[in-house]
Amino acid sequence: MWCYRGGSISTEPRINDRIRVPEVRLVGPSGEQVGIVPLAKALELAQEYDLDLVEVAASARPPVCKLMDYGKFKYESAMKAREARKNQAHTVIKEMKLRPKIDPHDYDTKKGHVVRFLKQGDKVKITIMFRGREQSRPELGYRLLQRLASDVEDLGFIESNPKQDGRNMIMVLGPHKKKTEAMAEAREAQAARKAERQGVAVTDDEAPSQETAEVGEPAEDAVTEVEVTEAVADEAPAQEPNTEA
């Protein structure tokens, strides 16, 4: 009975002696078309150029192979994929919950979070939660949502107007700034802070060396003072012994 053991399927292209076809369509190192050549001839050219023979189109007939530095190709491909992931922007929806009769201090705190989310290029879902008799006064939630949208209008806009959803009222704010722009600005700000910290560190390292140099060198004023003291001592008349005793 046949049984599949579930081995992993390699996605790496075949190179050099792993290529098992009688002939290939060969592409040179600079992209020039060499033509259909026997596999042995292609491997000989790869050895002559000190490069690898890489199968770039296995489904073609005959397969297309190219002469290249495969190690360098893999490194450059990995770096490109890493850069693409770094610059990839994922839109995130943050949620902020408020009460209709929110305290002014709590409102400022919540608004600060909304400002931070919008600056990061994220959408914000604002939810007003009604309890008990508050459900009979939806205008309180509507006015609160309008107030919040007005306070952050320089950073975001109303993407979804306030609407009642059971005991809650929901509004969605969208950022004016794209996620990619926000990420780029954040990286620039981080680089600037890092450069500033390094500059402060260099200044702090240089300061002790200057102080050491000043302490290590002889002070001319001190030497002059010593010389003057000795001269005064030489010029002072000798005191007569006390003979009253």
The pLDDT tens digits of the residues spanning 157-187 come to 999 999 988 889 999 999 988 777 777 777 7
Both tokens assigned to 41: 């001839």
The size of the chain, in residues, is 245
Cis check for the bond before 218: say yes or no (omega within 30 of 0). no
Q: Which residue from 75, 56, 60 is spatially nearest to 13, judged by alpha carbons?
A: 56
**pLDDT given for residue 88 in this prediction:** 66
Q: Could you give the count of Cα atoms lying within 13 Å of 205 in the half-sphere of its Cβ?
A: 6
**pLDDT given for residue 245 in this prediction:** 35
Q: What Rg, from alpha-carbon coordinates, does the chain have?
A: 39
Both tokens assigned to 65: 């192979």
Quick check: pTM over 0.85?
A: no
Higher per-residue pLDDT: 87 or 129: 129
Higher per-residue pLDDT: 105 or 227: 105
pLDDT band at 225 (very low <50, low <70, confident <90, very high): very low
* Residue 23, H or E segment: strand 23-27
Question: d(Cα 151, Cα 111) in Å, to the nearest integer?
Answer: 8
**pLDDT given for residue 12 in this prediction:** 82
Question: d(Cα 145, Cα 126) in Å, to the nearest integer?
Answer: 8
pLDDT of 204 higher than 90: no
